Amino acid sequence: MLPQTNRLISLDALRGFTIAAMLMVNFPGSEEHVFFTLRHTKWNGLSFTDLVAPIFLFVVGVSIVFAYSKSRIGVANAGFQNARVCNASKLYRKIVIRSLKIFAVGMFLNLMPTFDFNDIRWTGTLHRIAFVFLGCAVLFLNTNWKQQAWTGAIILVVYWLALTLIPTPGMGKVMLEPGFNLVAWFDTQFLPGKMWQGTWDPESILSTFPSIVSGISGMLAGRLLQSKLTPNEKVNYLMTAGVFSAALGYFWGLGFPVNENLWTSSFVLVTSGFACLLLGALYFMVDILGKTKGTQPGIIFGANAIAVYVLGDILALFFYGAKFGEHSLNEHAVNGLITLGATPNLASLLYALFFVSVNFIPAYFLYRKKIFIKL
């Protein structure tokens, strides 16, 4: 177990299993052979893979509540005593520095392995996590849960109105097509460096705002878990909120499609709903009923979540990049599994799971040594 005694096992497990899922979908044995739901949807729609990133941002929001609840009181009253002002300044400095560290590590991963600064991408998964953490942490320290809920709702509505009412400059009409929408246009004007898809980027500037709402939804769930309600009431509210959010997102998606690349408002609600349901189910099974069997791998991954994510990218240079003869290790493995009778998609998945297991080894070592790397 982790050193803290007041941690939710379900939250730690969800964090870790989400990171494991990230590794699995990011590193298939073969990019050509992947089960449909283990790919990102090309545009509109929702796959298992599309759920992973927003669920992690949801977990970031929940974690902020548990990490900063005591600090929030001091910051809220900071204007009354110089000592509290000093403490507030130190806290904000730590939050900013942590965000910058996460962003810097994201840039390091983007530069690997060539470190060509002339061909650099300034966005990515860790970059988005950094911005969401920064925005949500500052918001949490200065607002109550109702203000947070209203902030999230306003962002989603304004984003929806902007994308569905403002014509794409140069096109003369509203467009929500890949590379031809307000989000992509804004990036071409203000986003430096290269973009993931050439003319557009899934981690864009404007879509960062609704992604912060994914974190806000986690903060609301965290505040619920810290409330004075009984454990069973907390589960009921989590599950109810999850169903309501997912349903509202589905119906909103009929007019404003569920789309991860644009991180649409409907996408936020559907994925936050799923995250609420998942956390509620885990909280009920693990923290209330005490059925912790099977949670240990998630807890181990979650204890050093960002470090494991970074390590996965580094280890991939060998497991996917190094050549052994004419083929890389993953190609040899997938071809071998196919020869033994596995379908190409299954062989690709098995190698991805093998790679997740490889990353588990250093994660387990760090956990056993009680080394917790906090950026």
Instruction: Identify the pLDDT of residue 85.
Output: 53
Mean pLDDT of all residues in 214-228: 97
Segment 329-351 mean pLDDT:
96
Q: 247: pLDDT confidence band, cut at 50, 70 and 90?
A: very high
Q: What is the pLDDT of residue 56?
A: 98
Q: What is the pLDDT of residues 50-83, one digit of tens each?
A: 999 999 999 999 999 999 987 765 555 555 444 4
pLDDT band with cut points at 50, 70 and 90 for residue 326: confident
The pLDDT of residue 4 is 39
What is the pLDDT confidence band of residue 118, given thresholds at 50, 70 and 90?
confident
pLDDT for res 3: 36
Q: What is the pLDDT of residue 6?
A: 57
Q: Is the pLDDT of residue 35 over 80?
A: yes
Give percent of the chain with pLDDT exceeding 90: 85
Report how far residue 227's alpha carbon sits from residue 161's, in angstroms, rounded to the nearest whole number.
34
In this prediction, residue 77 carries a pLDDT of: 55
- Residue 10: predicted pLDDT: 94
Of the ranges 1-15, 131-145, 189-203, 310-324, which one carries the lowest mean pLDDT score? 1-15
Position 70 scores a pLDDT of 79
Q: What pLDDT is attached to residue 72?
A: 65
